[in-house]
Amino acid sequence: MQKRVAAFIGHSGAGKTTLIVSLIERLAARGEHVAAIKHTHHPLNEENRGDTARFRAAGADPVILAGDREAVVWEGGGTRRIAYSDPADLLDELRATVVFVEGFKSFAGWPTVNIDAEQRPTVETTMAILDRIWAP
């Protein structure tokens, strides 16, 4: 299955999570199977809180919280931990057609959208950017 992937990068507080949540809601409402990956430098947890909870509430399934070489996957009603060596390996855990990634700034293995707090893009503008990125 071909996955359309886009990573959103930018400074803390730039609006990445809020934009991703809106995109998940929009695409899930259209019937797309959407997943999300959140990169963190904090210790991993399996609590339904924070950005991963927002992604899940918006309709993403599964959602992955990725730390350094280990990740927590929320899928359906459960969680599991996995090991990975390269961020691209995380895509193998997802059966979604659309994958939004927050973080992994230094990874060049998927297209990125840079979010600037001064000029936050609208959902419509971002959808147009994604259409260009994902064009065949």
Domain count, the chain: 1
- Could you give the 3-state DSSP secondary structure of residue 83? strand
Q: What is the domain extent for residue 52?
A: 4-134
Q: Who's near 3: CB < 8 A, 6+ residues apart?
A: 91, 94, 96, 97, 98, 99
pLDDT band at 77 (very low <50, low <70, confident <90, very high): confident
Return the structure tokens found at 68: 């350094």
Read off the CATH number of the domain in which 55 is found.
3.40.50
pLDDT tens digits, one per residue of 12-66:
889 999 999 999 999 999 999 999 999 999 999 888 899 999 999 999 999 999 9
What is the pLDDT at residue 1?
A: 59
